[in-house]
Amino acid sequence: MDTLQSLQWRPPKPNYLPHDVEVDEPIVDVYKPPIPMDKASDRENAEYYAHMKRMAHEYNITRPKGYTVSYHFNPDMEPHHFGLTHPMKPFRLTLTKSLVTAYGMNFAMDNYNTRIATYEELNSFHTSDYLDYLHMTPPEEMPRDIDNPDKEVKFNLGGSDCPLFHGLYDYCSMSAGSSLDAARKICNKQSDIAIAWGGGLHHAKKSEASGFCYINDIVIAILQLLRCYPRVLYIDIDVHHGDGVEEAFHSTDRVLTCSFHKYAPEVFFPGTGGLDDTGPKSEHNPGAHHAINVPLNDGITDEQYGHLFQSVIGKINEKFRPSVIALQCGADSLAGDRLGRFNLQVQGHGACAKFCKTFGIPMIMFGGGGYTPRNVARAWAYETSVAIDVDEKINKIIPEHTPWRKHFVQEELFPSLEQILGEPRANRNSQKRLQEIIQHVHEQLRFVNAAPSVQQQVIPPDLGGIRDDVEDRLKEESEERDEGLRRDREEGLGIGGEF
């Protein structure tokens, strides 16, 4: 039986430490609630709706011709926070939504307020022991390794990277629910490009949390896609290696994973994803050669990244012939991120989504990392505009009526590197090294069959019956909630608007 040596031989490094860190600038700020999550009045909702309609009309934002885009979100994810000094801020989803709706992009998509994923759906990948512990363990105010860095934590839960915060299980279920709903809309042919910015948590393992990720919504979504599509191409442009997804599909030729990431195994999380990490070492394992890793150094530019991306992904598409793409759009690869140190701008990041779109096959666009919320929101809003084909139409100045506009600091949708960083990071990626990477990947692809088998030793269980029961129950609960909201309106009480 093949081992996962290529993924396990290096000990994992913490993604960040909230204490005793000496760097040239602070990694995180102390958490301060950025805004009160007050409910908007009916009048405010109506005024904002009018602004959205005006923007959509002014920039001719209409549904794309010939294909359908869907947007999957659960607004209840947004108020959560991971702790006082933790870099992950779900408020970035609020900022993303504010930009997307301010431009009127929501009128060009099918918008789904998604339900949470059920235990059974999470169990399609994660073990019962892990899910039970995740569900039942009470929240803790402080990470367990603050006072004792060597203290062991069960399932890697409760430490600085993966704290046990209030509402953790619900938060994870909401994230997975959005991604799973996106996958089902793709499978049902209801959507051609499905967007789930609340997902993309690529580090979580079958029985272990890792790197701010507790539930691997991407794996759960891909398992759904494999019911309907023979070959899935997973692409990861997060600054961190997509180790959890790669490991999950280590031994199949139906999923090819490709990760572009910073690689510095002694100092940068997770320490895996070297150029020679290509999957199982045994040629008898169907997954051999189906893990492609593109290791990068600090300071890579838009031009370098774009050339590398197109050279690698173009060749993969030619050789592997995927039926569907799962694109993880982690925004910590942007310049100015609190954990990443690339020189990528919003345009360069979005160019990856634009290139994938040219293949004309179904695609899910997931979120992922990203620890400077204003930059994350810019990238994901721009990539939403790419998906609906209005990226050339929208104004490059953030609309005046955008909620929380002051949190974007600069008014430009595409601030310059000088505005973001003052001075770009030193580029440690030589053209010679990048060309060597391209040649290595092209050589690796010679061993990938153009038409892999569609058999799997383990077929994911059909959750259709369970799903129908759950959705019937949730529909009843939703109707009861809607009745309560109707009564509130009649009493003159304002409610939050989720357009």
Catalytically active residues, by annotation: 203
Q: What residue numbers does the annotated binding site for substrate cover? A: 161, 211, 371
On the CB side of 272, how many CA atoms lie within 13 Å of its CA?
Answer: 25
- C-alpha 100/C-alpha 107 separation (Å) is 10
- C-alpha 17/C-alpha 6 separation (Å) is 26
Tokens 């759904």 -> residue: 224
CA–CA distances in Å: residue 9 to residues 273, 291, 342, 405: 11, 16, 26, 46
Ramachandran class of 155: left when φ > 0, alpha when ψ lies in -120 to 50, beta otherwise: left
Q: What residue numbers does the annotated binding site cover? A: 161, 211, 238, 240, 332, 371
Instruction: For the chain, give the secondary structure using H, E and C.
Output: CCCCHHHHCCCCCCCCCCCCCCCCCCCCCCCCCCCCCCCCCHHHHHHHHHHHHHHHHHCCCCCCCCCCEEEEECHHHCCCCCCCCCCCCCHHHHHHHHHHHHCCHHHHCEEEECCCCCHHHHCCCCCHHHHHHHHHCCCCCCCCCCCCCCCCCHHHCCCCCCCCCCCHHHHHHHHHHHHHHHHHHHHCCCCCEEEECCCCCCCCECCECECCECCCHHHHHHHHHCCCCCCEEEEECCCCCCHHHHHHCCCCCCEEEEEEEECCCCCCCCCCCCCCCCCCCCCCCCCCCCEEEEEECCCCCHHHHHHHHHHHHHHHHHHHCCCEEEEECCHHHECCCCCCCCCECHHHHHHHHHHHHCCCCCEEEECCCCCCHHHHHHHHHHHHHHHCCCCCCCCCECCCCCCCHHHHCCCECCCCHHHHHCCCCCCCCCHHHHHHHHHHHHHHHHHCCCCCCCCCCCCCCCCHHHHHHHHHHHHHHHHHHHHHHHHHHHCCCCCCCCC
Q: What residue numbers does the annotated binding site for a divalent metal cation cover? A: 238, 240, 332
